[in-house]
Amino acid sequence: MGDVLFCSDDFWDACGDQLVAIDPSIEVVRLVGDEHVTPGDLDRVTIAIFSADLYPLRSSQFMGACVRCPNLTWFQGAFAGTDHPVFQSLIERGVQFNTGSGATAPAIAETVMMYLLALSRDLPAMLRDQASRRWNKRRVVELAGLKLGIIGFGAIGHEVATRATALGMDVIGLRRTPDPADPFETWDNDRFDELLGWADAIVVAAPLTDSTRGMFDADAFARMKPGAWFVNVGRGPIVDEPALIDALMSGHLGGAGLDVFDVEPLPVESPLWELPNVIVTAHCSGDSDASDVRATEIILENFRRRAAGEPLLNPVG
């Protein structure tokens, strides 16, 4: 008996012909709009594809259905992170889990460079001047020659490093196991404190794990250079948010670019909204048409590899 795929209606309309060409025996159960998927159909499902079109409006509905698929054996996502409890529940059940790691990395890296360029030129202040029609010349800081530390040196970290190096920055990546063959200098996690004191700017691109949760606390911020910039495109709980706010309000940190937060959406009462040296974006640093295309390419390649009995990209565990 062949596989029964659970996916969105939009994904099947766009890619169904390609999936059938790879596996002519494939059957499909589609999430059509907001319609309810019957228990009988969920019982039939053996594999599931979470495509980019499901996020964010139908994410909960799709994942809730996946949890109720008793015969699910493989889950392929369009995303990189797996820290959500629902994803963890599937992994703990023994479901083979593969991600779309790398699909959003170029877009996220460009957002990181936007933060760094904006902070180095105090773009928030320039925009305030513009809004008040105030002609106020400001000096800028050049990124060339500055030191950038990247926490989490996977696909996103490498894309950031490539762009930062092109602008003349000195880059060091922190990762659990440094790779001597890496074209960029890498340090292991034991040198975390050293990296904080070395860098003019820190970019967090790490996943949320037991070891990264809360790693940026008051002590970590105190070890950073006075006036350093802080960027987080990893996960919000990696950062002690009150400690970050204190470091920004005291002037110890020169500014921050933040795409992820401990609570999302960021509560309206958060001081981060109004701090003059902070750029807030709504967890959208990787959202682009090109990212969606890359995610679909990874999904289709893994579907092909699975049908051919070949090792899959981006396995978890």
Catalytic residue, chosen from 223, 252, 283, 305, is 283
Nearest CA to 151 out of 118, 181, 186 is that of 186
Going through 251-292 in order, the beta strands assigned E by DSSP cover: 253-258, 278-280
Locate all alpha helices (DSSP H) within the chain, ordered by sequence: 9-22, 39-44, 59-67, 85-92, 105-120, 123-131, 155-166, 192-198, 218-223, 241-249, 289-308
Residue 248's identity, in one-letter code, is L
Q: Annotate 27-50 with b (16+ C-beta within 10 A) or e (fewer).
A: ebbbbeeeeebeeebbebbbbbbb
Place of tokens 């319609």: 35
Question: Would residue 283 show up in a list of annotated catalytic residues for this protein?
Answer: yes
Burial class (CB in 10 A: 0-12, 13-18, 19+), 226: exposed
Q: Is 176 a catalytic residue?
A: no
Q: Using CA atoms, how far apart are residues 91 and 84, in angstroms rounded to an integer? A: 11
Residue 308 contacts residue 23 (beta carbons within 8 Å): no
Contact 165, 171 (CB under 8 A): yes
Cα–Cα distance between 146 and 135 in angstroms, integer? 29
Candidate list 27, 35, 264, 297, residue with the active-site label: 264
Token pair belonging to 106: 């170029």
Give Cα 26 distance to the centre of its chain. Answer: 31
> Which one from 30, 175, 235, 306 is the annotated catalytic residue?
235
36 is known as an active-site residue? no
**CB distance 199 to 149 below 8 Å:** yes
Pairing relationship of beta strands 228-232 and 147-151 according to DSSP bridges: unpaired
Active-site residues, by number, are 235, 264, 283
